[in-house]
A = this chain, B = another copy of it.
Amino acid sequence: MKSYAIGIDIGTTSTKVVLFDEKGAAVAHHAKSYPLLAEEPGAAEQNPDEIFEAVVYSLRETVRKSGDLAGKVGFISFSTAMHSLIAVDADGKPLTNSITWADTRSESYAFAVKSSPEAIDLYKRTGVPLHPMTPLFKLQWLKNEYPEIFQKADKFVGIKDYILYRWFGEWATDYASAAAMGLWNMKTLTWDEEALQMAEVTAARLPSIQPTTFYWNGLSETLAKESGLDPSVKVVIGATDGPLSNLGVGAISPGDVAVTIGTSGAIRTTSTTPVLDIEGRTFCYPLTENHWVSGGPVNNGGIAFQWVHDLFHEKEIEGSYEELSRRAEAALPGSDGLVFLPHLTGERAPLWDAQAKGSFIGLTLRHKKDQMVRAVLEGTIFNLYQVYSLVKTQAQEQAEVKILATGGFTNSRVWKQILADVFQKEVSIPEHTESSCLGAVQLGRFAIGESEVLQEVAEETKQYGKVLPNPEYKETYEELFEIYQSLSKTMESQYKAIHEFQNRVSK
């Protein structure tokens, strides 16, 4: 018999708490936001105590809103944003803010390691693309820039670790959060000795590592009182938001693909063992030791559509986005051979080049607004498809797998259709939105033994909208994607000079 459960997702802009019934329907929820702090260039920090308060407050509000139903809650389970780092003293007091994934101050450290011969082996052991987001490089930065804090620190932990420490008085992290630090070995499921040496920390200065299914068997008196929950409620340590979102949308069978496009975007596919890219362009994070999620985040999703909207309309008027979608629909698949490289804001996966730029390539007199708008949408999908092509296995490509799509782009019929046509796979759109919270709860059910298999849990709870691929566009998109890849590769060597020129003239 299944219980009600609460999912808590500690995000970068807010903490969301959702109470689900035994079938996965949301019963009550509350969210509280907090600011990003940037006291120097490149900084992107948050106050860990402010986040702690947001978690407790949102939990209490959710319980309050659910009334009597809160009595049915069997457990809480966690999701968290990746890559945060907090230095704490021996009393567990923060010596730094929570340094988020968006903080770029360790850029030179990441670059140095990325350029070193150890780079690819490090990636192969940890599954994390070498990037300033990663705590490994933040530790190097901290040691060099703030040596007193680095020395004084008793432990280096993530934001979820900090919340759970304040609840249970012990420093514990989960496989997925450990992996996100860039310090965790995918084979041994423990801290990676060489990575620790790079970061110049010992395992003793990090939390203990637990499976993502680890749980505490009840709440403290204080927490029970503060939250309004029964002291018997279990607390599952959970995992990170990316892999949990795959679970939450139902993209958990081997080969299933989760695509999300909001302002930026991401693509993640699931497998039973780690999948890595030979050039280190994709991540691979654990959901459990038998479920691995690989893929990549991309910078340019809805922001590219917004850019082309503003180019042609200059301001949003009622229906102007719909008009652009209609224009994209009016153009032929393949945009008459016009290719858009979507890197307007630089690019993470697959280029990992902050200096990358956008381009329209292949222009002729035929190309008008219709084709340009469609090319923008196709370009964002090609970029995701390129990331996918790095992590898909032969078996996955052949298999009857599905794409689960979330994010604002699912409001555009033509954009969804382009996704289905480029991938030549059925696209399903889940009806709910808080997929990381739902994923946390589904993982929790598996953790406490309410279900024996992770997939089953995922499948019983969703209703999807569906988009079928047009087989007649398969060849067109295959051919154009080949051209896209060639252009993408060709342009790589050009971005540095353009970027430096733009910096000079725009200063």
Q: Which residues of A contact B (CB under 8 A)?
A: 303, 307, 310-312, 314, 332, 334, 336-337, 339, 344-345, 357-366, 368-369, 372, 476, 479-480, 482-483, 486-487, 490-491, 493-494, 497-499, 501-502, 504-506
In the bound complex, CA of A482 to CA of B500 (Å): 13
One of B312, B486, B502 near A337 (C-beta < 8 A): B502
- Asked if B506 and A483 sit within 8 Å, CB to CB, the answer is no
In the bound complex, CA of A312 to CA of B310 (Å): 12
The 7 A-B residue pairs with the shortest CB-CB distance, nearest first, are: A358-B363, A337-B502, A359-B361, A360-B360, A362-B498, A357-B362, A337-B501
A-B CB contact pairs (8 Å), 19 listed: A311-B368, A312-B312, A332-B505, A334-B501, A336-B502, A336-B506, A337-B499, A345-B365, A357-B361, A357-B364, A358-B364, A360-B363, A361-B491, A361-B498, A362-B502, A366-B502, A479-B504, A487-B494, A490-B493
- Asked if B336 and A363 sit within 8 Å, CB to CB, the answer is no
Q: Given A311-B369, A497-B483, A505-B337, decide whether A359 and B357 contact each other with a Cβ distance below 8 A.
A: no
* CB nearest to A306 among chain B residues: B365
By a CB distance below 8 angstroms, the chain B residues around A360 are 359-360, 363
In the bound complex, CA of A254 to CA of B366 (Å): 41
Q: Given A311-B368, A368-B311, A479-B501, decide whether A344 and B359 contact each other with a Cβ distance below 8 A.
A: no
- Asked if A476 and B498 sit within 8 Å, CB to CB, the answer is no
* CB nearest to A359 among chain B residues: B361
By a CB distance below 8 angstroms, the chain B residues around A369 are 311, 314
Interchain nearest-CB distance for A303 vs B (Å): 7
By a CB distance below 8 angstroms, the chain B residues around A357 are 361-364
By a CB distance below 8 angstroms, the chain B residues around A501 are 334, 337, 479-480, 483
By a CB distance below 8 angstroms, the chain B residues around A502 are 336-337, 362, 364, 366
By a CB distance below 8 angstroms, the chain B residues around A482 are 497
Interchain nearest-CB distance for A33 vs B (Å): 24
In the bound complex, CA of A364 to CA of B346 (Å): 8
By a CB distance below 8 angstroms, the chain B residues around A498 are 337, 339, 361-362, 483
* CB nearest to A358 among chain B residues: B363
Interchain nearest-CB distance for A457 vs B (Å): 41
Interchain nearest-CB distance for A178 vs B (Å): 35
By a CB distance below 8 angstroms, the chain B residues around A366 are 502, 506
In the bound complex, CA of A358 to CA of B359 (Å): 11
* CB nearest to A504 among chain B residues: B479
In the bound complex, CA of A9 to CA of B375 (Å): 45
- Asked if A362 and B363 sit within 8 Å, CB to CB, the answer is no
By a CB distance below 8 angstroms, the chain B residues around A506 are 336-337, 366
In the bound complex, CA of A204 to CA of B86 (Å): 92
* CB nearest to A482 among chain B residues: B497
* CB nearest to A333 among chain B residues: B505
* CB nearest to A493 among chain B residues: B490
In the bound complex, CA of A314 to CA of B369 (Å): 9
By a CB distance below 8 angstroms, the chain B residues around A491 are 361, 490
- Asked if B505 and A494 sit within 8 Å, CB to CB, the answer is no
By a CB distance below 8 angstroms, the chain B residues around A364 are 344-345, 357-358, 502
In the bound complex, CA of A328 to CA of B479 (Å): 36
Interchain nearest-CB distance for A280 vs B (Å): 25
- Asked if B344 and A363 sit within 8 Å, CB to CB, the answer is yes
Interchain nearest-CB distance for A62 vs B (Å): 37
In the bound complex, CA of A9 to CA of B31 (Å): 79
Interchain nearest-CB distance for A356 vs B (Å): 10
List 8 additional contacts besides A360-B363, A479-B504, A483-B494; criterion CB under 8 Å.
A307-B365, A337-B501, A358-B364, A359-B360, A361-B494, A366-B502, A479-B501, A490-B494
- Asked if A368 and B310 sit within 8 Å, CB to CB, the answer is yes
- Asked if B372 and A363 sit within 8 Å, CB to CB, the answer is no
By a CB distance below 8 angstroms, the chain B residues around A365 are 303, 307, 344-345
One of B307, B337, B344, B361 near A361 (C-beta < 8 A): B361
In the bound complex, CA of A506 to CA of B498 (Å): 33
One of B334, B336, B359, B499 near A359 (C-beta < 8 A): B359
* CB nearest to A476 among chain B residues: B505
Q: Which of A337, A345, A483 has the largest count of B CB atoms less than 10 A from its CB?
A: A337
Interchain nearest-CB distance for A383 vs B (Å): 14
By a CB distance below 8 angstroms, the chain B residues around A486 are 494, 497
* CB nearest to A337 among chain B residues: B502
Q: Which of A361, A504, A506 has the largest count of B CB atoms less than 10 A from its CB?
A: A361
In the bound complex, CA of A311 to CA of B369 (Å): 6
